[in-house]
Amino acid sequence: MDSTQAINSAKVLSEALPYIQRFSGKTIVIKYGGNAMTEEHLKQSFANDVVLLKQVGMQPVIVHGGGPQIGTVLEKLGKESKFIDGMRVTDQETMDVVEMVLGGQVNKEIVHLINQHGGQAVGLSGKDANLISAEQLQVTSNTPEVRASEIIDLGHVGRVTGVNPHVLHTFLRSDIIPVIAPIGVGPEGETYNINADLVAASIAAVMESEKLILLTNTAGVMDGDSLLTGLSPSAVEDLITKEVIYGGMLPKVRCALDALNSGVHSAHIIDGRIEHAVLLELLTAAGIGTLIQR
């Protein structure tokens, strides 16, 4: 490293210092998914980021998805994946695969990566210690022919009804990074597959987190070619009304707003295809994605 590179490195560290001081001791809930968890160099940089956040005093909590991995296993088993409004229809056989892939394969790989980079991570399913309570998600479809709404049965697809924060606080007090598979348990012991964004938002709210970070496969909230950031909830609602925010970005933004309304200080929608995206968003002045804050 020559002197110019050394000076630039020092400037980067100096820029990060006030953010490290501000967020030390704060809980940061990160939803991990998309390309960031399928491309090797991005998996390595994500694990590195999480360990660094823990090392400088922050309290990261990871919630992960795994849709592509589930689809791959179902395809190998000769079972067709069916989606309604972006949600996987989950019969009992599919639920068994979801639990095996999310709670086993994907979860353990993330834990292993974090531990390889010097962290101490533990994998959890929402069923462990009743961490995530859930009930079946009810979805309706309007049917004008009969002037009524038809209830669509998605099977073992759930919604969060409660989170047990004691479990997570216990790990955080022991300097352990929780890595959570988005599987919930019903009142009669039923197992439910839950959208990871919704689980992350619910955990962030219950944990009174400083930040909720959603990693995506897009740059963030866009208006044409312009990345929008520094948004208030009212500004976001206005963008929804004007249909600037639509399609697949809409449910992510709704998750962010729900978290903010429940006491989370800020939410970030960032591009997980960029190496060290989490560090760039949290520890630099410019950031790389969309910040929504109360």
pLDDT in tens, 114-127: 999 999 999 999 99
Identify the band that residue 13 occupies on the pLDDT scale cut at 50, 70 and 90.
confident
Among 5-14, 180-189, 219-228, 243-252, name the one with the lowest average pLDDT: 5-14
Mean pLDDT of 158-164: 93
**pLDDT recorded at residue 140:** 57
pLDDT in tens, 266-289: 999 999 999 999 999 999 988 999
**pLDDT recorded at residue 148:** 46
**pLDDT recorded at residue 155:** 66
- The Cα 121–Cα 229 span in angstroms is 31
pLDDT in tens, 250-267: 989 999 999 999 999 999
pTM here is 0.91
**pLDDT recorded at residue 211:** 97
Spell out the domains of the chain, with CATH numbers in brackets. Answer: 24-289 (3.40.1160.10)
- The Cα 219–Cα 202 span in angstroms is 23
Identify the band that residue 142 occupies on the pLDDT scale cut at 50, 70 and 90.
low
**pLDDT recorded at residue 157:** 84
Task: Say whether pLDDT at 139 is over 70.
Answer: no
**Tokens 């439910």 correspond to what residue?**
192
For the chain, the average pLDDT equals: 89
CB crowding 219-236: b at 16 or more within 10 Å, else e: bbbeeeeeebbebebeeb
Please state whether beta strands 266-271 and 211-216 pair in parallel, antiparallel, or not at all (unpaired): parallel
**Which helix H or strand E contains 134, and what residues bound it?**
strand 132-136
pLDDT in tens, 66-111: 888 888 888 888 877 777 666 777 778 888 888 888 888 899 999 9
Residues in CB range of 36: below 8 A, 6 or more apart:
42, 43, 46, 215, 272, 273, 277
Of the chain, the end-to-end C-alpha distance in Å amounts to 42
The beta strands (E) that lie in 13-72 are given as: 27-32, 59-64
Q: Three-state DSSP class for 262?
A: coil
**pLDDT recorded at residue 290:** 97
Residues in CB range of 91: below 8 A, 6 or more apart:
155, 156
With 0-12 / 13-18 / 19 or more C-beta atoms within 10 angstroms meaning exposed / middle / buried, residue 13 is: exposed
Among 31-45, 49-63, 83-97, 118-132, name the one with the lowest average pLDDT: 83-97
**Tokens 């229809």 correspond to what residue?**
89
**Tokens 């809409």 correspond to what residue?**
250
- The Cα 160–Cα 194 span in angstroms is 8
**pLDDT recorded at residue 243:** 93
Please state whether beta strands 226-227 and 83-84 pair in parallel, antiparallel, or not at all (unpaired): unpaired
Task: Say whether pLDDT at 146 is over 50.
Answer: no
More confident residue, 2 or 65: 65
Q: How many percent of the chain have pLDDT more than 70?
A: 93
Mean pLDDT of 5-33: 90
Distances (CA, A) of 81 to 89, 91, 100: 7, 11, 16
